[in-house]
Structure 1
Amino acid sequence: MRTLELKGFNELIGGCTTQALHLEMRDAYVPSDPSFRAFTGEGPAYDRTQRESDWHALIAPAVARGVSVRRARIVSEPVTPYIRFEYAVTESMNLSAGEQVRWLPRRNASDLALPGNDFWLFDDRLIRFHHFAGDGEHIEDELTDDPAAIKLCAQAFEAVWDRAIDHREYRIS
């Protein structure tokens, strides 16, 4: 797979014209995140206002110019503390910015062909893969325009999306 020079996420979403698709498949991410630590009571209070404002400033203009921003999450049930946190902030962070979010219980994904890493797919032309350590800490991202990887990721995302449950209907266990 050919790796390209990594572009910033703001540049990638800013250059998007039709859709940005995000598939999340882990049950834990970035345990050092101060917002997550505050949510679990393991850290001091955290004001999410700036983080959410920055995300809205990035996503809302893309949605306003007609870009469909969809996020699908494959989750184990019962959910982990991190997924409980993501679920709790989805309305204020993602939906209010204009994203569409769906959840797929992992038991319903067993027969799907999925890539090995979480990703963002931009306009079916660029993929930004995310690489994480076993504990969920972010290691690095990788950008590619490899046609086979794009096809796999696009098909995987749509298969997950078709089975997944809209955020407003999904209940965590």
Structure 2
Amino acid sequence: MPSNKPTFAELLADCTRSAIHLEMRDQYAVDEEVEAFTAWRNGFRHDPDDRASWWRPWLDLMQATTARGVVVRRARIVSEPVSEYIRYEHSGTFTNIAAGEQVRWLPRRHASDIALPGNDYWLFDDRVIRWNHFTGDGASAGQEISDDPAAAKLCMEAFETVWARAIPHDEYKIR
């Protein structure tokens, strides 16, 4: 049965100004990351000079989106000392930046007074939300699309507050 829910690529294609992503978990166990995380745990690191070895469809999508003038920002709220998974994410974030994303990190202790939504999300042009649901152990529990104006406003305001306090990727030192 066909779904009338837009794909992530369709949401980005319809986006004209901004796509923001807030991540609030200290560990994710989504299928496409498990193998890469295991390799990282075993010592594998991407070589920044060997772009062909780490460039992937996700980065093509981000580069095409930013090339159209859409500003893509990602903020991560993290506990410190950071989890092993966050160390893994941090070590590979240079790939996101190479594709045109802007990335910042906010230590969780600096987010205590921010009204945050209950789930990670993407917000497109301050109006369409893609909620990312996860199980307790970090596996994907699906996505949900919303265009509720009050929820979009909460997401936008929360993100902007996090962004203002967060540390740019190249300045954030893992603790």
Q: Same fold (TM over 0.5)?
A: yes
What letter matches 1:72 in structure 2? A
The counterpart of 1:90, out of the listed 89, 93, 117, is 93
Query: Residue in 2 aligned with 1:64?
Result: 67
Query: Residue in 2 aligned with 1:145?
Result: 147
Measure, in 2, the Cα distance between the counterparts of 1:129 and 1:52.
26
- Which TM-score applies when normalising by structure 1? 0.90
> Conserved in 2, the CA contact under 8 Å of 1:73 and 1:103?
yes
Distance 1:147 1:54, change over 3 A: same
The counterpart of 1:165, out of the listed 160, 164, 167, is 167
> Conserved in 1, the CA contact under 8 Å of 2:119 and 2:132?
yes
- State the shift of 1:50 in Å: 7.1
**C-alpha offsets along residues 66-114 of structure 1, whole Å, 9 cap, x if unaligned?**
100000000000000110000000002x100000000000000000000
5+ residue gaps, structure 2, are: none
Q: Identity over aligned residues, as a percent?
A: 56
What letter matches 1:39 in structure 2? W
What letter matches 1:34 in structure 2? E
Residue 25 in structure 1 maps to residue 24 in structure 2: yes
Query: Residue in 2 aligned with 1:77?
Result: 80
The counterpart of 2:115, out of the listed 113, 116, 125, is 113
Residue 37 in structure 1 maps to residue 49 in structure 2: no
Name segments (4+ residues, structure 1) moved above 2 Å. Answer: 45-53
- Which TM-score applies when normalising by structure 2? 0.89
SS of match in other structure, 2:98? helix
Query: Residue in 2 aligned with 1:154?
Result: 156
CA RMSD of aligned residues (A): 2.1
5+ residue gaps, structure 1, are: none
